[in-house]
Amino acid sequence: MKKLWNKLKVNPKSAPYYFLIPVIVIFGVFMIYPIVKSLMLSFYSFEAGDYHFVGLQNYLNLMKDPVFKKSLFNTLVYLVVQVPVMVFLALMLAYLTDQAFVKVKAVFRISLFLPAVTCLVAYSLVFKLLLNNEYGLVNYILNFFGIDGVNWLGGSISSKISIMIAITWRWTGYNMIIMLAGLQTIPHELYEAADIDGANRMQKLLRVTLPNMKPIILFAAITSTIGTLQLFDEPYILTEGGPDGATITVAQYLYNTGFRYIKFGYAAAISYVLVIIIAVLSYLQFKLGETDS
């Protein structure tokens, strides 16, 4: 008994385990268990309050499900178009605000970062107003210049563009700050050496800045990819997934399936497809980052 007591005592040897207990318990109960449970659920159907084992049927149905295909397609469109554009913009703005001659750097940086602190629902409502078909300011400005207004939230392509504009507005500043952090780790000596070699601004950017920024660009690309694959708030508020499913995302379809139609098994299968996609894409991005260097 006394031995056990001694073992349980908080000493420098046992302390780290005690310190990790809260985190491990919470991860265990609210993450590890749900992940396993979700996988199991995905092999069941939940109907009339009962679970039935259906094997791979949920996954087979998903492959034939037109709404799921649409949501997957939309999510991938957001990913392929929006992430590169945003990463480019973030890198460019970071580079510009990092130029030695720029005054009031902090004002620019804070202004550009501000969208990243606003709550997603609030800013989505503002964009809904801005992009309003009849009364929105964006169409007003277009009309002012003699351009026909766009049905921003009602067309199948334009609504996707609207979602992408909104996400880009919200997240570019955040990624810019991450890029800035990267810019500041590039050793000053590299630029001095380039100066001695007579490199001009463009050469320094291409030969010194960009190669050294690769890990950070990769980091921003991976976190943005994971974020985009989980996109929910913006389409939920801005377009409600419409028109006719043109903007619905995987996360939104999962929400509808699980919490509107209460098809837990089917929704769990959707979530596992999401896990697999995230794992594969992150792996590919890592590999891509490795082979180049």
Partner 1 sequence: MKKRKGNPRSETLKVKIVTYTLLFAAAVVALFPFYLMFVSSTLSTGDILKIPPTLSIGSNLLVNLENLKDKINIGRVVFNSVFISVVYTFLTLVINSLAGYALAKFHFKGRNLIFALIMGTMMIPAQVLYIPQFTMMTSIGWANTFKAVIIPSLANAFGIFLMRQNMISFPTALIESARIDGFNEFSIFFRIVLPNMKPALGALGIYNFMTQWGSFMWPLIILSTNDMYTLPVALASLDGLMYKDYGMMMLGASISTIPVIVMFLSFQKQFISGLMGGAIKE
Q: How far is the CB of 160 from partner 1 (least distance, A)?
A: 20
Only one residue has tokens 């497809």, namely 273
Site string for partner 1, 225-254 (x = CB under 8 A): -x--xx-xx--xx-------------x--x
Q: Should residue 20 be labelled a site residue for partner 1 when binding is judged by CB under 8 A?
A: yes
Q: Should residue 268 be labelled a site residue for partner 1 when binding is judged by CB under 8 A?
A: yes
> In the chain, helix, strand, coil percent, each to 5?
75, 5, 25
CB 259 within 8 A of CB 48: no
- Burial classification of residue 284, based on how many CB atoms lie within 10 Å of its CB (0-12 exposed, 13-18 middle, 19 or more buried): exposed
Give the residue, chosen from 1, 12, 49, 66, that forms a contact with partner 1 under the rule CB under 8 A: 12
Residue type at 105?
A: K
How far apart CA 255 and CA 263 sit, in angstroms, is: 10
Give the residue, chosen from 60, 122, 206, 210, that forms a contact with partner 1 under the rule CB under 8 A: 122
**Is the C-alpha dihedral spanning 254, 257, 260, 265 positive or negative?**
negative
Q: Phi/psi of residue 153, each to 5°?
A: -100, 0
Give the residue, chosen from 1, 3, 5, 23, that forms a contact with partner 1 under the rule CB under 8 A: 23
Q: Which residues pair with 51 in a beta bridge?
A: 46
- Residue range at the interface with partner 1 (CB under 8 A); choices 52-60, 71-79, 88-96, 284-292: 88-96
Only one residue has tokens 């109960």, namely 29
Q: How far is the CB of 61 from partner 1 (least distance, A)?
A: 17
Return the number of the residue (4 or 100) whose C-beta is nearest partner 1.
100
CB 257 within 8 A of CB 263: yes
Q: Should residue 219 be labelled a site residue for partner 1 when binding is judged by CB under 8 A?
A: yes
Q: Should residue 10 be labelled a site residue for partner 1 when binding is judged by CB under 8 A?
A: yes
Question: Residue 42 carries which DSSP code?
Answer: T
Return the number of the residue (129 or 193) whose C-beta is nearest partner 1.
129
Give the residue, chosen from 44, 54, 62, 128, that forms a contact with partner 1 under the rule CB under 8 A: 128
Q: Should residue 146 be labelled a site residue for partner 1 when binding is judged by CB under 8 A?
A: no
Q: Should residue 198 be labelled a site residue for partner 1 when binding is judged by CB under 8 A?
A: no
3-state DSSP assignment of residue 44: strand
Return the number of the residue (56 or 137) whose C-beta is nearest partner 1.
137
Q: Should residue 123 be labelled a site residue for partner 1 when binding is judged by CB under 8 A?
A: yes
